[in-house]
Amino acid sequence: MLSIELVTFDMAGTTVQDRHEVEMCFIEAASHTGLAVSAERVLALQGYSKRYVFELLWTEVLGENHADLQEFVDVSYSKFCEILENHYLQSEIYPTEGCLDIFGYLKDKNIKIALTTGFYRKVTDIILGKLGWLEGLDKNYIGNKNTVIQLSVASDEVIKGRPEPYMIQHAMKTLKVHDSFRVLNIGDTPSDLKSGIRAGCRMSLAVTNGTHTRPQLSVHRNDGLLSKVSDLKAIIEKIEHENVIKENFDADLKKFKAMI
């Protein structure tokens, strides 16, 4: 069995408290720019790159061959960015329940922490800055063993955001983690789960106190649903216990073979 070297966490709803602000900002931007969309539809698309969501929704309305499709997308997305940035600049931002606890636990275990997000870099930096999690990161958003996190990856820094695996793969490459079986992924949306599965992570998990409930998440493929992010401790301890059992078994087997 292999030990865990990296945990990739989503931000809004997983490590950063989300009272459905992103959905409200999205719906407000859609309404301002003539795009009718329900709260349920927006929730179902949480975790995806927000520009991609506008492209998807406007394509459903106009058709993919509409001459002005990209202009409609640009206008809606620009309005969304304006509303979202103002919201986070003016609002208090807090970590989720158990977040700092699990960060400290992982630091003690020398397990690296990477934050991935459907946000673009400007908003990501506003949030990280207010939480104090930018401190110590270099110009490429890479930290060290003393920083709160070891890496931040925004959706506009990879080819495609979630549910594709590219942010996780970018984190692995940057932090020199060569085996996806040494990576745990945790989020709070179906797209977070899919991203971890597509990246081949040892486990792709979700918390049920974020943007989606346990019943909403349970219908999607997952390796476990947690009440809060700090419940990840029990998962890691179970893996470590299994590692010890296997190591002891292998040692006993080696001794036995040497005797015969």
Residue at which a domain ends, from 33, 55, 90: 90
222 and 182 in a single domain? The answer is yes
197 CB neighbour count, 10 Å cutoff: 18
Q: Which two tokens stand for residue 216?
A: 């909403």
For residue 184, list its beta bridge partners.
7, 203
Query: Could you tell me if residue 204 is inside a domain?
Result: yes
Average pLDDT over the chain reads 92
Confidence class of residue 246 from pLDDT cuts 50, 70 and 90? low
Residues 13 and 115 in one domain: yes
Structure tokens at 243: 């590692």
pLDDT beyond 60 at 256:
no
Task: Tell me which of 61, 90, 119 is where a domain ends.
Answer: 90
Residue 174, both tokens = 């940057």
Supply the CATH number for residue 238's domain. Answer: 3.40.50.1000
Judgement on whether residues 142 and 157 belong to the same structural domain of the protein: yes
- Residue 217 structural domain: 6-17+95-245
Distances, alpha carbon 44 to alpha carbons 37, 127, 169, 220, in Å: 11, 23, 24, 12
pLDDT in tens, 110-140: 999 999 998 999 999 999 999 999 999 999 9
Query: pLDDT tens digits for 21-59?
Result: 888 999 999 999 999 999 889 888 887 878 889 999 999
**What residues does 44 pair with on adjacent strands?**
none
Tokens 């002891």, located at residue: 248
What is the full DSSP assignment across the chain?
A: -PPP-EEEEESBTTTB--SSHHHHHHHHHHHHTT----HHHHHHTTTS-HHHHHHHHHHHHH-TT-TTHHHHHHHHHHHHHHHHHHHHHHS---BPTTHHHHHHHHHHTT-EEEEEESS-HHHHHHHHHHHT-STT--TTSB--TTSS-SEEEEGGGSSS-TTSSHHHHHHHHHTT---GGGEEEEESSHHHHHHHHHTT-SEEEEESSSSS-HHHHHTS--S-EESSGGGHHHHHHHHHHHHHHHHHHHHHHHHHHHH-
Interatomic CA distance for residues 140 and 149, integer angstroms: 13
Note whether residue 260 is domain-resident.
Answer: no
Q: Are residues 79 and 109 in the same domain?
A: no
Give CA–CA dist 249/19, Å, rounded. Answer: 48
Instruction: Say if residue 106's pLDDT is above 90.
Output: yes
Number of domains into which the chain is organized = 2
Q: Which pair of structure tokens corresponds to residue 209?
A: 């106190």
Nearest Cα to 100, choosing from 175, 211, 16?
16
